[in-house]
Amino acid sequence: MTSSESASAGALDGLVIADFGRVLAGPYATMLLADLGAEVVKIERPGAGDDTRSWGPPFADGQATYFQAANRNKESVALDLRNPDDLAQARALAARADVVVENFLPGTMDRLGLGYAEVAEANPGVVYCSITGFGGQNDLPGYDLLVQAVGGLMSITGPSPDEPTKVGVALVDIVTGLHAAIGILSALRHRDTTGQGQRVEVNLLSSLLSALANQASGFVGADVVPRAMGNRHPSIAPYELVATADRSLALAVGNDRQFASLVQELGAVELASDPRFATNTERVANRDVLGKELAPLLAADTAEGWFRRLSAVGVPCGPVNDIREAFTLADRLGLAPIAEINDPRREGPVRTVANPITFSVTPPRYRKTPPHLGEGD
């Protein structure tokens, strides 16, 4: 394979994925794999399709942009799994697929004859990924808001413990989709080595508990139950939003060297040797006093001014951008955050959020726009 040929090839070329996933976690995982070359066949209900097709506004290309967020590079096949002929087509697809992904309530795929045992009998090398809300032994429906609540995330998000707040995006679904993709790729690696397929299971609650990282570890290791602190960090200071002359600035001082650079630029170098602030542990213990010391100093310039000045001396900080400004920043940094897909099925290019992974040989490819319902029939 020449370098030009390999550059145009996907790392997962030749892989076939039967995608029975709906909404976000499953479709997001399969879209990432589709970007890397996998052929993904999305099974949808005739007439309605994936629930997210109706989750709008906003709309683009006649589709809800929510649906577009997780379904590019796929074909859509409309099958009524209650219909024997359509069910037979679904079983045939699963029998030839390298990967099957599903996120129905536990037991649903078994009742359809599409469970892991049935599929693996016909297709021993299959990697079968099941995504549930609370594990395969529990038939509770999993919605991101619900899991953010019962999984503890809302208890540490928001201005105070009295105002639990959800994260502004379906973060649990996204994290679970990433875990699913990792599990699938790991199982494929095992199959490549041994020829043996297997079942991969992920669930929203376990994925969230893992993603709580230091907050969960503080409970597991030290029996500390964290609470919402607004924009402050439980273990680092100053690591929060601070007021400037015009708007808020995110200030993320992660070590003593950065703190010394901060106060030197602010014209208060003596704070670096002040016993109350000399170490991170002391700054955390005295964060309120520290905030009062920094507030009048930060009011002397704008958020953009401090961003330039503090970044120049190695202090992590930045203004609070809206989504448009965030994309503008990513573009200015050369990250190419938007991908335009030229698909012969469309009159013009369709813009989607680019895959964030870069490869030196097998980059993500944008071959197909998010499909209209049944477009792959």
Average pLDDT by consecutive 10-residue portion of the chain (377 residues)?
A: 48 97 97 98 95 93 93 96 96 98 95 97 97 90 92 95 94 98 98 97 97 96 94 94 95 97 97 96 97 97 95 95 94 94 84 94 93 86
Residue 222 falls within a domain, yes or no?
no
Residues 155 and 284 in one domain: no
Residue 217 falls within a domain, yes or no?
no
Alpha helices in 225-341 (DSSP H): 256-265, 280-285, 287-298, 303-312, 323-332
Task: Give the CA-trace dihedral at 298, 303, 308, 309, to 10 degrees.
Answer: -10
Residues 183 and 262 in one domain: no
**The predicted structure's pLDDT at residue 8:** 67
Residues contacting residue 308 through CB under 8 Å, at least 6 positions apart = none
Residues contacting residue 173 through CB under 8 Å, at least 6 positions apart = 23, 24, 25, 28, 144, 204
Closest of 104, 97, 98, 113 to residue 23, by C-alpha? 104
**CB of 229 closer than 8 Å to CB of 155:** no
**CB of 103 closer than 8 Å to CB of 131:** yes
Residues 112 and 162 in one domain: yes
Residues 108 and 191 in one domain: yes
Whole-angstrom distance, CA of residue 145 vs CA of residue 163: 15
Whole-angstrom distance, CA of residue 198 vs CA of residue 211: 25
Residues 54 and 197 in one domain: yes
Q: What is the CATH number of the domain that holds 12?
A: 3.40.50.10540
**CB of 172 closer than 8 Å to CB of 146:** no
Residue 329 falls within a domain, yes or no?
no
Residues 207 and 172 in one domain: yes
Residues 116 and 153 in one domain: yes
Residues 96 and 137 in one domain: yes
19 is catalytic: no
Q: What is the CATH number of the domain that holds 303?
A: 3.30.1540.10
**The predicted structure's pLDDT at residue 253:** 97
Residues 54 and 178 in one domain: yes
Residues 132 and 30 in one domain: yes
Residues 154 and 25 in one domain: yes
| Alpha-carbon distances, residue 344 vs 36, 365, 369, 371, 375 (angstroms) | 20, 15, 9, 12, 13
**The predicted structure's pLDDT at residue 291:** 96
Domain count, the chain: 2
Residue 324 falls within a domain, yes or no?
no
Residue 368 falls within a domain, yes or no?
no
Structural domain range at position 91: 3-211+337-353
Residue 148 falls within a domain, yes or no?
yes
Residues 295 and 184 in one domain: no
Whole-angstrom distance, CA of residue 58 vs CA of residue 69: 12
Residue 161 falls within a domain, yes or no?
yes
Token pair belonging to 253:
């001082």
**The predicted structure's pLDDT at residue 4:** 34
H or E element in which residue 138 lies: none
The single-letter DSSP state of residue 156 is G
Catalytic residue, from 35, 173, 301, 343: name it.
Answer: 173
Q: Which pTM value belongs to this model?
A: 0.90
Residue 375 falls within a domain, yes or no?
no
